[in-house]
Chain A
Amino acid sequence: MKFQIEDVTVYFPYDNIYPEQYSYMVELKRALDAKGHCLLEMPTGTGKTIALLSLITSYSLSKPQRQVKLIYCTRTVHEMEKTLAELKLLHNYQIKHLGPAAGILAIGLSSRKNLCVNPTVLAAENRDSVDAACRKLTASWVRALAAENPNVPTCEFFENYERAASAAVLPPGVYTLQDLRAYGREKGWCPYFLARHMVQFANVVVYSYQYLLDPKVAGIISKEMQKESVVVFDEAHNIDNVCIEALSVSVRSKTLDGASRNLSRINQEIERFKATDAGRLRAEYNRLVEGLAQRGNLAATDTWLANPALPDDILKEAVPGNIRRAEHFLHVLRRLVQYLRGRLDTENVEKESPISFVASLNTHAGIDQKTLKFCYDRLHSLMLTLEITDTDEFLHIQTICDFATLVGTYSRGFSIIIEPFDERMPHIPDPVLQLSCHDASLAIKPVFDRFQSVVITSGTLSPIDLYPRLLNFHPVVSRSFTMSLTRDCICPMVLTRGSDQLPVSTKFDMRSDPGVARNYGKLLVEMVSVVPDGIVCFFVSYSYMDGIINSWNETGVLKEIMQHKLVFIETQDVVETTLALDNYRRACDCGRGAVFFSVARGKVAEGIDFDRHYGRLVIMFGIPFQYTLSKILIARLEYLRDTFQIKEGDFLTFDALRQAAQCVGRVIRSKADYGMMIFADKRYSRHDKRSKLPGWILSHLRDANLNLSTDMALHIAREFLRKMAQPYDKTGTGGRKTLLSQEDLEKMAENGVQEMLF
């Protein structure tokens, strides 16, 4: 359908539109017009992504003078694929109605591991070895060598791509990772470098958060993006955690051992170069005197992960004299490793601010703050000079330099925590030195500064006023949409008691109670016998899930469950989890029905949808609180309290409830879909916990469903499923329309918008 929002003609690939999608677009358009940032919460299951994509593409179509580039960030690669698939749908529609003028170039960008088509490189096991294997074939000095000596192996895909030079472009269209690989294979061009090259010309770029947020990656990929671009962070409810993780480093004794090995290897290389090609080292020295601003001239294939700190100031300064010479730099690193080793060898937990850490480093090892700041770039430069290609071997020393640079750059918002062992396993000595970032706004600040419109959106952003504080920005639009439902197609319930009327909870003191495990098991057994197709269960942690499944196995509960449905489980092994998910979907498709056991905060909860028959019921066993005794969490809570005046308890509840809401929200995808959500913990019935749930769940949580036992929940489930099986009027009954056709929209345009919405 086609309609006007003020001066923009929006092309929307469906015949109908939800009213909330329409108002979402209206708000988004205002934010774009105002050239400011915005924060939009809209429930899952209302087609957020397609609304966003179609407004922004239509916006740039209707304003050809103002080329708006869309940078769409997703949490995960599979979400990226989903987004691109939706974009494809939209693009086909726009092409059909506008002809080739609507042609856009949209690409997904990922790592070499996901884009490479060279079989020898792909044979490598993990991501880092794929990167290294690629470098071995494509680094500039390797290629220079190969030009003289035909026996040196190179990558034919990359060579073809280089030969094609400026002719190597992607024709307009929407390219998923798979499409890129297919295109690369067909043309014989390297899809990875082709995609990276095309990023600057593409109208839509879809990639993962870290390509903007993590300075290590963002430095390489995102440096040429124009200010006019619109940046979208989808599923952004966890964005603060991503920001924090991007700037955190931890050092173990394993890391230090590895780093020492790396250093001796570098030393050998230096000796070798001194003997054969001393000129190179001298040339490097001279370059360093002039500063580190050399990165712009590097061949694309030589770039490594960039500086972990924010780049602005660091490039302009000259490298301090004491680390300009390779041997001196090596000495500094040795001393640093030695110092860290000494710090790790401790009996007690220590917490320190970066300032005092740097001060003590200066007195004990004689390394000053400025030297630390340059460590990472100095290492990078040295490795290039030494022509090292097996970068995956050097990750340890890289970690150490990351740490040094971060600790030298930031004086606030961080703390250094040294723990001799994990509290949960005190008998196993495993010392860790962690540099943990507490301030989410540090990592995202350059994004807000560089781009004129940043859109942060998700199904759960409540309380919506907290995010601007956490991320320290000022949105021009900040709105939370409710969901207008044709029928009550979601049915949240709070289950407080088991079948024996005893309370259930995952509270610390009740967690190991066998009665609770039995009650949870009984609940699931009853539910699998009445709910068709897929059921998803979320547990608060892997260890809890592991324990409870084992106890169910011993008590025969699992056997009873398996009489009705197949069981699939998320494990810590992603490959296995992926296959389990794939099988789960097939089991639901073929009508056999299945249960999927998963973990809140796990990989599955983050981005896998359990819509339609893939999930008719979600059970959240317990409240997914963070491990509150963790030193890092405590430090972060202190920081939040001191800087933003956010109470510890409030933040913990907010964090736990957004995870819970995120888990159960996966169950619904459209208004024709339906699903139930069971919050199985007595603490959900308390107002202070419950009220943190997003409004669209709360509005369907009836008072009668607040304090249920297993048998009552079962009864409600039966009734609900029966009700949902009845045919209904999709356009909505009564005065409020829940599905708008083109006609409705035109009428609305005449009568004024507000009249029919909400």
Chain B
Amino acid sequence: MASGQVTKRVKYKTSVKDPGTPGRLLLTMEKLAFRPNNPNSASKFDMEFRYIKNHKYTKEGSNKAPMLNLTSNQGVSYIFEFENYNDLQVCKEFVGKALSKSGETPKPADTSQSLSEQPSTEELLLRMNLLRENSELQKLHKRFVSDGVLTDAEFWATRKKLLSGDLSRKSKQRVGLKSVMLSDSKPLIDGRTNKVTFNLTPEIVREIFAEKPAVHQAYLNVVPNKMTDKDFWTKYCRAEYLHHSKNAHAAAAEAAEDEELALFLKPDDILASETRRKIRCVDPTLDMEADQGDDYTHLPDHGIVRDGSKEITDSQNEPYMRTLLQDLNRHSAVVLEGTAIDDEQLKDTQTVAEALIQSKQGHKTANEEDDGNASQEKLNRISKMMEIEDLQGSNDLPLAPLCIKDPRDYFDSQQACAFKTSRDTTIGTEAVSTREAYGSLRDSISQIKVMGLNDPIIKPEVAMKVLSVLTHNISSTKYHLGKNPRESVLDGFPNKIKEDLLHHWMSIEELLRHYWSSYPVTTAYLYAKVNRLKDAMSKIDSQLQVILAEMKESVQSDLRNQLTLLIRPMQQALEAAMQHHDADLQKRLAKSGERPNGYV
């Protein structure tokens, strides 16, 4: 969308039953205009967005025609029927944006002073995207901006980094596949009967299809014409079972009898052709196949055959033995490639099969296009790789940026690990009691009193002792709870409390960030802001009190301690801010007595 302006073919109707006047709908940020095809028609009109109260539209997939309904503040509705849903989609978004903007600008004309230059449409779009993708951000935004604690501009001013083009585009990185092999799950055998149970979920099916294109192909061919979904998978599992049992002879025998079963056991032809295609565009500095092509020493029967450095393979029945190693390689390759199938499409095998086909086709055409570019790129890359990095100025390789889906997961586990190891290493000092530590600290202080300061002011051992006692509490919590590195203190609480805590913590962070950044208060605008922030903070503070009080009753005793431990720093931070505010106010009042021309 080129922002600024949108034009679409529509039919303008005054009511739903009206046959409508064909014409063009012109949308800009400020207003909308309708130009009928017949210039003589009376239905031509212009209208500014700020007069529009709300908008409705028909949902895609319903039987109705794609329509957009705008209602003005006088209660008149304007209905536009579009030619297709895509057009509607575009206009819908545009109108939504225009409306939100027009609703925003007229409101707090006083606060937006100096700070708020009108953001460009692109930026607005970005902001909306960010809010949509990041639910936490959305919550914060809702809480503060809608409540008038912060203005939109202020809110985004602290998140300039998120808005700087590149990053936001990268955030679209798809979530990759899991590394673990799902399809390799072992069959369940119950001891009593001769029954073997395989468990297949759509996710496993996706993996099977992606890793074994021949199975995928077979599925598309035979299901549901020749056999049912269930039969197909039964047969597949039978083949897998044969394969697992590592009995190549049995597999060969069965395959000879059953055509379809043989398909699952035979090497994959589709895969083979794909391999041939891929090997052609492999990095030449890795290409060992080329190497084989150049090796005349190892003509058949030349060189040393049996000196123990070379291995022997049992080549009988080989086509029926797919090795684990091949499976692993294949699996990793598929994971690396990723798939374009969303989780929503993981309903049943049929949809998975079809979705895969589609994504593959898209992939293929894309591949053919950039084949030429890729080889050039590859060469450039190789020559860059050849350079020795520290002999020359840096030459950054184009690496994919790190994108962690949920940073909290990452840091939590890291922290737990760190705690664990610090425990491991300081295991000797653990025994030190508080009293002992205090004693040694006091000793060294008195020593200083006697001898004055010498080079290490306090002996490192003493410092270590004291520190470890002081931090014992924190680390022990982590230690006791964090036996599993993925588990953090928070997980011990009921879900609601956990979420509340996190939310409060984020809110406080946001508020404090704004609060401290507005010091020193030099303008009336900042003064107002600080006051607003202060009010919000005291509100949260009281909320925290409430939580604490509530939880004292509801939560088990050992968790209560941890909860207070968690909440205390929040309260402290808030208190510090309040105190600073009060002190500042005092100072200001004192000053304003001397200098009546001051602000405020």
**A217: B residues at CB distance < 8 A:** 296
Contact of A630 among B284, B306, B314 (CB under 8 A): B306
Contact across chains for A550 and B336 when beta carbons are under 8 A apart: no
Q: Is B344 an interface residue (CB 8 A)?
A: no
Minimum CB–CB distance from A726 to chain B (whole Å) comes to: 15
Contact across chains for A574 and B292 when beta carbons are under 8 A apart: yes
Contact across chains for A562 and B180 when beta carbons are under 8 A apart: yes
Minimum CB–CB distance from B267 to chain A (whole Å) comes to: 11
**A interface residues, tally (CB under 8 Å):** 117
Q: Is B299 an interface residue (CB 8 A)?
A: yes
**A18: B residues at CB distance < 8 A:** 391
**A582: B residues at CB distance < 8 A:** 278, 282-283, 286
* Also in contact, A578 and B287, with CB within 8 A (given A82-B386, A569-B325): yes
**A210: B residues at CB distance < 8 A:** 294-297
A669 to B385, CA, bound (A): 11
Interface string of A188-218 (1 = CB under 8 A from B): 0000000000000000000010100010110
Contact across chains for A608 and B293 when beta carbons are under 8 A apart: no
**B295: A residues at CB distance < 8 A:** 127, 208, 210
Q: Which positions 241-255 of chain A face chain B at CB distance < 8 Å?
A: 242, 244-246, 248-252, 255
Q: Which positions 560-594 of chain A face chain B at CB distance < 8 Å?
A: 562-569, 571-572, 574-583, 585-587, 589-592, 594
Of the A-B pairs whose beta carbons lie under 8 Å apart in the complex, a sample of 22, sorted by A's number, is A14-B388, A47-B388, A81-B382, A111-B296, A208-B294, A214-B297, A216-B296, A245-B303, A245-B304, A249-B301, A250-B304, A251-B301, A305-B296, A428-B314, A546-B323, A563-B179, A568-B328, A575-B279, A580-B333, A591-B402, A592-B336, A608-B286
A-B contact number at CB 8 A: 271
Minimum CB–CB distance from B262 to chain A (whole Å) comes to: 22
Q: Is B332 an interface residue (CB 8 A)?
A: yes
Contact of B391 among A15, A553, A581, A603 (CB under 8 A): A15
Interface string of A348-371 (1 = CB under 8 A from B): 000000000000000000000000
Minimum CB–CB distance from A502 to chain B (whole Å) comes to: 21
Q: Is B166 an interface residue (CB 8 A)?
A: no
- Which one of B351-359, B392-400, B537-545, B554-562 contacts A? B392-400
**B278: A residues at CB distance < 8 A:** 579, 582
**B406: A residues at CB distance < 8 A:** none
**A242: B residues at CB distance < 8 A:** 297
Q: Is B117 an interface residue (CB 8 A)?
A: no
Q: Is B291 an interface residue (CB 8 A)?
A: yes
A730 to B329, CA, bound (A): 39
> In the complex, which range does the number of interface residues on chain B fall in?
35 or more
Interface residues of A (CB under 8 A from B): 14-18, 47, 50, 76-79, 81-82, 85-86, 88-89, 110-111, 113-114, 126-128, 130, 176-178, 208, 210, 214, 216-217, 242, 244-246, 248-252, 255, 305, 395-396, 398-399, 402, 419, 422, 424-425, 428, 432, 434, 436, 541-543, 546, 549-550, 553, 558-559, 562-569, 571-572, 574-583, 585-587, 589-592, 594, 601, 603-604, 608, 612, 626-633, 636, 669-673, 715, 718, 730, 739
Contact of B400 among A251, A424, A580, A591 (CB under 8 A): A591
Contact of A562 among B181, B283, B293, B333 (CB under 8 A): B181
Q: Is B455 an interface residue (CB 8 A)?
A: no
**B425: A residues at CB distance < 8 A:** 715
A567 to B298, CA, bound (A): 30
A216 to B294, CA, bound (A): 13
A242 to B290, CA, bound (A): 18
Nearest-neighbor residue (CB-CB) of A632 within chain B = B307
Minimum CB–CB distance from B313 to chain A (whole Å) comes to: 7
Q: Is B302 an interface residue (CB 8 A)?
A: yes
Contact across chains for A85 and B305 when beta carbons are under 8 A apart: no
A14 to B392, CA, bound (A): 6
Contact across chains for A176 and B284 when beta carbons are under 8 A apart: yes
10 A-B pairs besides A14-B388, A248-B302, A582-B282 with CB distance below 8 A are A15-B392, A85-B382, A127-B294, A428-B314, A434-B304, A566-B179, A568-B332, A579-B279, A633-B308, A671-B390
Interface residues of B (CB under 8 A from A): 176, 179-181, 184, 275, 278-279, 282-309, 311-314, 323-326, 328-329, 332-333, 335-336, 379, 382-383, 386-393, 397, 399-400, 402, 421, 424-425
Nearest-neighbor residue (CB-CB) of B402 within chain A = A591
Which residue of B306, B314, B400, B425 has the most chain A CB atoms within 10 A of its CB atom? Answer: B306
Contact across chains for A422 and B297 when beta carbons are under 8 A apart: no
* Also in contact, A78 and B290, with CB within 8 A (given A15-B393, A594-B332, A632-B304): yes
Contact across chains for B383 and A88 when beta carbons are under 8 A apart: yes
Minimum CB–CB distance from A105 to chain B (whole Å) comes to: 19
